[in-house]
A and B are shown apart, each in its own frame.
Chain A
Amino acid sequence: AQKITQTQPGMFVQEKEAVTLDCTYDTSDQSYGLFWYKQPSSGEMIFLIYQGSYDEQNATEGRYSLNFQKARKSANLVISASQLGDSAMYFCAMREASNYGQNFVFGPGTRLSVLP
């Protein structure tokens, strides 16, 4: 079963507007972590933001915020004031316990295109 679901293969947003990228997850663990990464066309994976399962407040990092709704098992990324440089693939990932300790599972990604 898919552990991380990103239902938006592609998204468009106008420059300077806000955009929300969806992420839902599936786990039976009580302790887990959620991450968002950005991958520009160069291929590098850039860490954006982290939310722990026990964190009561939504994480924020500059223009990035994570809308964490634990009961719905969703961890949507909100980018405010989009910039042209935000055009990239965005991956939601989850850290959970596995037979080997900790495992990281990635979603299929959302391609964001920022329009001038």
Chain B
Amino acid sequence: SQTIHQWPATLVQPVGSPLSLECTVEGTSNPNLYWYRQAAGRGLQLLFYSVGIGQISSEVPQNLSASRPQDRQFILSSKKLLLSDSGFYLCAWTRDTNQPQHFGDGTRLSIL
């Protein structure tokens, strides 16, 4: 069966520090991968979308970047965090466009 792992679960970082959140999927190949951000009490905002290794699409201009160095690995990064980067970050995958997205457990990021 397929599983998705996302870490860390929580993270507290100072303003201006770098960021690296990692997401990996097991049990499938060539998944579509997504990074979302969710502000407190709000819906999900799509940040990045990837259909394959090295293929990243950005939906919203921001302080963040994403990379897909391997087929089932998706990394969210920042060189210098801003206060506005605080939120709940969710990674998701889907194999087929008629199938639902499967989400990781999320990372709660707090910027001080």
Q: Using a CB–CB distance below 8 Å, which chain B residues touch chain A?
A: 32, 34, 36, 42-46, 49, 51, 57, 59, 88, 90, 92, 97-103, 105-106, 108
What are the residues of chain B within 8 A of A37 when measuring CB–CB? 100
A71, chain B: closest CB distance, angstroms = 22
Count residues on chain A whose CB falls below 8 Å from chain B CBs. 23
Cβ of A12 within 8 Å of any chain B Cβ, yes or no, is no
The reply to whether B43 and A107 contact each other, CB–CB distance below 8 Å, is yes
A22, chain B: closest CB distance, angstroms = 15
A42 to B5, CA, bound (A): 16
Closest B residue to A48 by CB, please name it: B100
The reply to whether B101 and A47 contact each other, CB–CB distance below 8 Å, is yes
Ordered by A's residue number, 28 sampled pairs between the chains whose C-beta atoms are within 8 Å are A33-B98, A35-B100, A43-B88, A43-B106, A44-B103, A44-B106, A45-B44, A45-B90, A45-B101, A47-B100, A47-B102, A50-B98, A52-B98, A91-B43, A91-B44, A95-B97, A101-B32, A101-B97, A102-B32, A103-B59, A104-B34, A104-B101, A106-B36, A106-B43, A106-B45, A108-B42, A108-B43, A109-B43
